Structure formats: structure tokens, C-alpha cells
Chains A and B, each alone.
Chain A
């Protein structure tokens, strides 16, 4: 069967209509995986708190490593199963920690996931949620060294993929949380989550993903369905463990490893929200002359096609149209042949 390997990016914490909530881009990812035959995407797309799903055609790659893949610095190697270790923030209270450990046990008992061990950081990670950029989710951690130390101890024990769980502050902006749960705001903690997983990916170079540990919140009646996957359990860890369980190995290039499943030079297209063309993966794909398929998917950013003079930039109305375009690319059908009006070919004068 023909395939057209494709990257899907829906940046974390920019409030996209699709993908700005709790794994609510997963059905779209499955559609694009079906159309392309091979989709490389990141945890924000796939993680729905308590819900997630595996798909043989989808490669689950954390954002920093996905950027490296887009820059053609790594290849991806399929594995049958990763050996997962979990880093827990020292700040997590015993009861919340126990809930997370029971999730790990449940994933072993019910799903057959290989979760070997966990480690608690020697110091609190220190999450800081930043409000400097109005309307965008961002932040940083005060004590990154403690994460690296914990991660290294897991890797020394033979762990091949790392889940990170950090305690997020209880003093949060209730108004913003309610807006998010009603489907009208951004995921205000998502930006810091991305920072943590990017940081671990950069320095430890293993598959990883992050789940926040939060105090329980009150039941909400008018909850938006897109946020519901985060309300049906005590933790957000299940989707992280499911995603990591078969996340591909990250192989630095050039490499003599002949078992790499997908090389970056096999990628033909990247699919991204039409207002989010200013991220590293998109610009790296432009650098490499790949198709950029910009899907209308409203968020808080407006870095759109009007700013870019790039021939292979296609703006489409929705994921159905993106899937159709990928099928045309996959099957070698000129997309112009399907659109009207259809122009005659140009006379290209001879030049010597």
C-alpha cells in the first residue's frame, strides 16, 4: 500500500478549536493516519487524560524530538514495547501519589504495559505558570536539575521511556479554568507541560511525556465535551503511559542502525493549524521544501499564510479536506485536477 508519511502538529496551549483541549484532536489524527498511512504526531494531540488509543500508523513523539525529526536530526524506530519509568515531583502529596501509582498498576494489569519503576525527585520541581503573554499558556520550572537527576537514575536502571508527573500549584486562576472547562479558553497549564517534556527530551534523548498532578476539582455541569476526558479519572497519567508504551525509539542521525522505521527524508507533508505557522517544526519543513498543509483551526495565534511566501503552502478548511489532500499526494493525483477553475498550462519560453 502506498503511504505519504506526514507530521501533524497542533501546538500546546494556544487554544485551538480542535486539539486545544483533552486529546480532542485524536479522531482527526486517526483520520490523517488513515489518509497518509503514516503519521508522526505529539502527546498534545493524542493524550486525553484518562483516554487514549494506539494506532499502528501513528508515531507518538514528544514535541522537542518531533522538532528534531522535522530538522532531519533523528530517525524513528518502531518498538514492540517501551520499558517505562515514572518521575514524580517531590511536591506531590501521598494521596495523589498513591492515585498515580494505582494508575501505573492498572496499566500493567489491564493493558499489559511495561512500567518498571518510579523515582521521586530529591527536590520539588517548582512549577511556575507564566501570565506574561496574555492569552497564551507558558511558564518554566525553578529546579530543572532535579528532573535530570531523577531521569538519569531511571535510565541507569534500563528504562527506555519516561513519564513525568509534576505537582501544579493550587493557586490557579479559577476564571480561566472555568472558561477552559466550558470550551472557551486555553489550557493554561499546557505551556509549562511542554517545557518540562521538551527539557527531558533535550537532555535525556528518550521518549517522554508529561502529566500534571492536580488537586481534585468540583463537578461541573456545563462541561464542554472536548474537556471531558480530563474529568473522568483522578489523574491524567493513563494516556501518557498508553502513548509511551509503543512510542518509537529516537535514533540520532547519521546512524548505521538499519532498523530505523522512518527517516525524516521520507516525510512529504506537515499538517498544522493555519494560525500556527511560526513553530520550529513548520519552519524546518519549509526549509526542507515539504508540503505545509494549514488547516483552519481557530486559536489565539495569527501566524498565518499571509506572512509567508512559500509555494508549497496549502490552506484547507478542515481536517476532512486535509485528509483528501493527503490522499491525493499519496496516490499521485495532481490536486489542481480536482479543483475548479482549471487553468491551461503555461508556455515556458525557451531560455539558454
Chain B
């Protein structure tokens, strides 16, 4: 089990309705997701950056 931190630049044209799938698509690569949430959003230049904390499991349990 591992606590991970991501900074995801938000695509300009993304709608709120598509946000969850976008985030899952980015963070699911690291393992099985136990819990995640956006804990901050910052502006960097002309980009919005999502800061995400996720708890992932690196191995599959049987």
C-alpha cells in the first residue's frame, strides 16, 4: 500500500462531467486504487493543475 501524489495539468476543453474518468485514467496506471481525491487546484502559467492524493495497492490480492 502506498500513498502517492500526482499533479495533473487539466486539459483546457475538459468538462466537469468528464473529469473523474480523466483522473482515473491517469492514476490507475500505478496500481489498484483504494482511495483518491483532489486536495488542491493551482494555476501555473495558463494551466490549471490538479493536485491529487491517492492510496494505491501495488499488488493484486487473491
Interface contact A284-B20, CB-CB below 8 Å = yes
Docked pose: A280 CA to B39 CA in angstroms: 12
Interface contact B39-A301, CB-CB below 8 Å = yes
Return the chain A residue nearest B56 by Cβ: A140
Interface contact B20-A64, CB-CB below 8 Å = no
Judge if A307 is at the interface, Cβ distance under 8 Å: yes
Interface contact B39-A130, CB-CB below 8 Å = no
Interface contact B18-A287, CB-CB below 8 Å = yes
Interface contact B35-A198, CB-CB below 8 Å = yes
Interface contact A283-B20, CB-CB below 8 Å = yes
Docked pose: A194 CA to B5 CA in angstroms: 18
Judge if A303 is at the interface, Cβ distance under 8 Å: yes
Judge if A133 is at the interface, Cβ distance under 8 Å: yes
> How many residues of B are counted as interface, with CB atoms below 8 angstroms from the partner's CB atoms?
27
Q: Mark interface residues in A176-219 (1 if CB within 8 Å of B CB, else 0).
A: 00000000000000000011001100110000000000000000
Question: For B35, what are the chain A residues with a Cβ–Cβ distance below 8 Å?
Answer: 63-64, 194-195, 198
Docked pose: A309 CA to B15 CA in angstroms: 7
Given contacts A132-B5, A276-B37, list 17 more A-B pairs with CB under 8 A: A133-B39, A136-B53, A138-B53, A138-B55, A140-B2, A140-B3, A141-B1, A144-B57, A144-B61, A194-B35, A199-B34, A203-B61, A278-B37, A278-B38, A283-B19, A303-B39, A307-B48
Question: For B57, what are the chain A residues with a Cβ–Cβ distance below 8 Å?
Answer: 144, 199
Interface contact B61-A139, CB-CB below 8 Å = no
> A281 to nearest B CB, angstroms?
10
Q: Mark interface residues in B24-62 (1 if CB within 8 Å of A CB, else 0).
A: 000000001011111111000000101001010100010
Interface contact A139-B3, CB-CB below 8 Å = yes
Judge if A310 is at the interface, Cβ distance under 8 Å: yes
Ranked nearest first, the 5 interchain pairs of A and B with the lowest CB-CB distance are: A278-B38, A283-B20, A310-B16, A140-B1, A198-B35
Interface contact B3-A280, CB-CB below 8 Å = no
Interface contact B20-A280, CB-CB below 8 Å = yes
Judged by DSSP, the binding face of A is mixed
Return the chain B residue nearest A63 by Cβ: B35
Docked pose: A11 CA to B35 CA in angstroms: 12
Q: Mark interface residues in A56-78 (1 if CB within 8 Å of B CB, else 0).
A: 00000001100000000000000
Return the chain B residue nearest A285 by Cβ: B20
Docked pose: A286 CA to B50 CA in angstroms: 17
> B20 to nearest A CB, angstroms?
4
Interface contact A202-B20, CB-CB below 8 Å = no
Question: For B48, what are the chain A residues with a Cβ–Cβ distance below 8 Å?
Answer: 307
Return the chain A residue nearest B35 by Cβ: A198
Interface contact B20-A287, CB-CB below 8 Å = yes
Question: For A301, what are the chain B residues with a Cβ–Cβ distance below 8 Å?
Answer: 39-40
> A14 to nearest B CB, angstroms?
9
Question: For B39, what are the chain A residues with a Cβ–Cβ distance below 8 Å?
Answer: 133, 136, 278, 301, 303
Say whether, besides A130-B3, A133-B39, A286 and B34 are in contact (CB < 8 Å).
no
> B31 to nearest A CB, angstroms?
12
Q: Mark interface residues in A285-324 (1 if CB within 8 Å of B CB, else 0).
A: 0110100000000000111000111100000000000000
Q: Mark interface residues in A122-138 (1 if CB within 8 Å of B CB, else 0).
A: 00000000101100101
Judge if A145 is at the interface, Cβ distance under 8 Å: yes
